[in-house]
Amino acid sequence: MKDVAAGNNNRTVLEGHVHAPLQGEKPAGRTDPNSQLQVTLLLRRRSELPELCSAFGSKFPHTRQHLTREALAAQHGPISEDIAQVKRFAIEHQLELGESAGYRHGVVLSGTAASIERAFGLSLVEFEHPRANYRAATGSVSVPHELSGIVQGVLGLTTRPCARRTTVHHDTIKPFWTACEMAKAYGFPPSLNAARQSIALIELGGGYHIEDLQKFFSSLSMPMPSIRWVGVGGVENSPAPADQVRQFLDVVEGKRKLADVPEDVLIVAQTTLEVTMDIELAGALAPGAEIVVYMAPNTEQGIHDAVSQAISGRETPPASLSISWGEPETGVSDVYLNSVNEVLRDAAMLGVTVCVSSGDEGAMNGSMDGKPVVNFPAASPHVLSCGGSAVKSVHGEKVLESAWNCALHGMRGATGGGVSRRFQPPQWQEKHGVPLAPTGSEGRGVPDVAGPADPHRGCALIVGGECCSSAGTSAVAPLWAALIACINSTLNTRCGYITPLLYELAKHNLKPLREITEGNNGFYEAGPGWNACTGLGSPRAGALIAALRGKAEPAR
């Protein structure tokens, strides 16, 4: 932060809010001054959040270190005097202050665009882009001097899409196996279930048809799980009609040209397919779990608020949280990266295991500078980052895999992975052979684990009444989220921040994961031990439970 003079008032500039333009965007004029907007103010915390590596170490479970929401609020929540100061600011600028909840350090302000511009000393501009039309702030973002140090950032000024999935994920060739067959191959014991657990899914658009889910679970002779959706920022469950899903699948199969299908149809159909995939995989692999789907806008504010609500909106935090979205970490603003990373740290402190896909565009990942770049939030040290494998053969529980890197109808997909340019290496990755980042410095290695991502070896799904195949690292995150929920139920504990423990188990040559030593992601090669394609490897669920059982203590 730095102080500046704005008119006759001293104001403080909030750094880290520089608009990250999308290639091809075009200005379309000022935002309507009478339009109603909402922004999330990020407030300082009562005390600094701890570094989890030193706080938790590699012990399992972390039950004694996990905090209740009340304890987290008391130790690291917002300061009541700060909220009172923000309330005065809101009244002065004709803005409405929403309710603040517990430890959550974000509070919502609502008002007209003109009021928002005056309050934060900026101009709001509309942009047009093939992906979406959006709003962004021009000029510095600032607050009155009396809020200096209190307000850490503002989310919602920009609505630029900040996460993506690619159209390579699916193919309607005959699926390789059912979810039950995949679970058996990856060592899920037949009796494994996730009774009394819940899994949260973060979704950014689209939706699901209940008829698809009923048909899917009936095909597996499984009872329909408890599934409900929660709207964030006004977003609802809005699935694409079946005919639009069919058009999208025709494009992926090569039966129809991409240019023949309207962009908006492709987007809503793809997101519908992705939402449905997450629900069907999580529900099938974690029988008995409740599935809660958080529908949010594809914006910085939307993702931040969805994750915050997912870990705080219910009486008990979920066992696991799956995020199959992300974008190159070099393209996100500092305020977004830091604020979401803080919420992910909150999740770890509450005992929620956050599973995030590493991306589907290989190591280069659409890089703008010709150097490898990893996705965020997969690069956060507080998550379990999930890469992708390609299944080559299956004989019982003996699965032969390579790093996922394939072409499908002219489109190429490969597991994301590499070394972060934004996050320092966590201590639990020491001595695991993580190379230097493209900048020549040390960084957090991505991913941590892997799972089946090749569309030629995907699970059977039902979307829009059609049978298609799961694929991409988007399918790996819900797989791991389901496994974590099952482990929690089986061991009567919370895995929580399990990532350091997996590295500890690998270091001691325990084998709860299957190393993947073949293939590449366009820059990095797979190999023994940790690698920047498939991390420590894919799950051997029974062996992982056995390894954890030897270290587990009853939940308190």
Catalytic residues: 274, 278, 474
Give Dmax over CA atoms of the chain in angstroms.
Answer: 75
Specify whether the backbone of 72 is left (phi greater than 0), alpha (psi in -120 to 50) or beta. alpha
Backbone torsion region of residue 164, taken as left when φ is above 0, otherwise alpha when ψ lies between -120 and 50, otherwise beta:
beta
Q: Give dist(CA 38, CA 155) in Å, integer.
A: 9
Query: In the structure, how many helices (H) and strands (E) does the chain have?
Result: 13, 28
Instruction: Give the three-class secondary structure for 57.
Output: coil
Distance of CA 320 to the CA centre of its chain: 12
- Tell me the CA end-to-end span of the chain in Å, nearest whole number: 42
Structure tokens at 281: 């995989």
- Assess contact for 427 and 363: CB atoms under 8 A: no
Which has the closest alpha carbon to 322: 310, 330, 332?
A: 310
**How far is it, in rounded angstroms, from Cα 86 to Cα 108?**
10
Environment class of 80 (CB within 10 Å of its CB; exposed 0-12, middle 13-18, buried 19+):
exposed
**How many CB atoms are closer than 10 A to CB 227?**
18
